[in-house]
Amino acid sequence: MSIGLIITALVLSVFGGTGVFFFKKRGRTRATKTDPTLKSVALTSPSHGTLSSIPNLQSPAGLDKKLEKTRGSLFGKLAQFLSKGAAGGVSDSDWESIEEVFLAADVGHGTSQILLSAAREALKMERPKELKEILREVSGSFFSSQAHGELQIQTEIKPLVISIVGVNGAGKTTTIGKLAHQLQKSGRTVLLGAVDTFRAGAISQLKVWADRTGAQFVTGREGADPGAVAFDSVTAAKARGLDVVLLDTAGRLHTKSNLMEELKKIHRVVKKVIPEAPHETWLVIDGTLGQNSVIQAKEFQKAIPLTGVIITKLDGTAKGGAVLAIAAELKLPIRYIGIGESVEDLTPFEPKAFVDAILG
């Protein structure tokens, strides 16, 4: 049996519901001219037609450096075991240590079992020298069911309404600012809707980003009805013929049911302006949370239909392995990753570049 078939069988067995593996717990509003200097290329997508793409401002070499903490803590620690495998000397205790490395990096039980099983099969097939490449292939397979990276949309959709959701502290507002920056530089006209009317400073923070990026801005008074602000934002963008609306929603803890009901209401309200809106709903996840981010995302999925994920703060954590679990378990496109504080450090997610960066 080829390694490719083995990988497929492993993924289906763990995440397809057959229950092959058993896991044990371990104790541990103004308009500003846009900057026309940066050119972008029109791309196509089966579902959304054409729109100039948001340029990828992060080089592969830069990505490699930004993810060095994950690479060092996860696959860097596997080097000694891989060399043992090449010598045919991986013991049962070594396998347990390898599993511990995966779990410590928050890869998760399911994804860890797939990686371990593929490695064991490689040894059985007398291909120990290819262990690292096999791990690279298996890691890449977690992303194969979705089209990741930047969204391509029809130019006829005006405005495209994107609802940005997530708990407080994940970096929603900053992410929205960076998205606005990249969209404006690629020639799109953007409106930021300050729908989070409850968090202290949320409106002023978003206004700073609107001023900085040249995006238009709609808000209400602090404590105003979020649905009304969302309605006004989409209505204004439609009347002005703008390209994109980014809605900055509230982000109380995901365990609070009133937040989820509020998000549902916001989405119902914007449909009164544009029946298909919001066209996209992206969940912003704090990359430092590791496996907790998967639990968090599932709570949002129960309440509202998510169409993508943005993972932030990956440069400051050794838990970047959770990205593998997010892709495997949530079955959602990972649109962007945040890998630094700079406005340029929000990059469209490219599975191969990510896997190469964490494997080395």
CA dihedral angle for residue 314, residue 69, residue 101, residue 94, rounded to 10 degrees? 150
- pTM over 0.85, yes/no: no
Domain with CATH 3.40.50.300 in the chain: 160-359
The pLDDT value given to residue 153 = 58
- Compute the C-alpha angle 292/294/299, nearest 5°: 100
**Tell me: the pLDDT tens digits for 196-218?**
998 888 999 999 999 999 999 99
Which residues partner with 326 through β-bridges?
none
**Cβ atoms of residues 113 and 23 within 8 Å:** yes
How much is the pLDDT for 340? 87
Helix (H, G, I), strand (E, B) or coil at 338: strand
Q: What is the pLDDT of residue 300?
A: 93
CA atoms of 91 and 102, how far apart (whole Å): 17
CA nearest 358: which of 109, 77, 1, 154?
77
For 124-137, the DSSP string reads: HTT-GGGHHHHHHH
Distance (Å, whole) CA 284 – CA 261? 18
Residue 208: predicted pLDDT: 97
Instruction: Please give the pLDDT value at position 127.
Output: 57
Dist. CA 290–CA 111, nearest whole Å: 13
* Residue 311 confidence (pLDDT): 94
CATH architecture of 160-359: 3-Layer(aba) Sandwich (3.40)
**Positions of the chain with pLDDT under 50:** 1, 3, 5-60
Question: For the domain with range 3-24+63-141, which CATH number is right: 1.10.3470, 1.20.120, 1.20.1530, 3.10.620?
Answer: 1.20.120
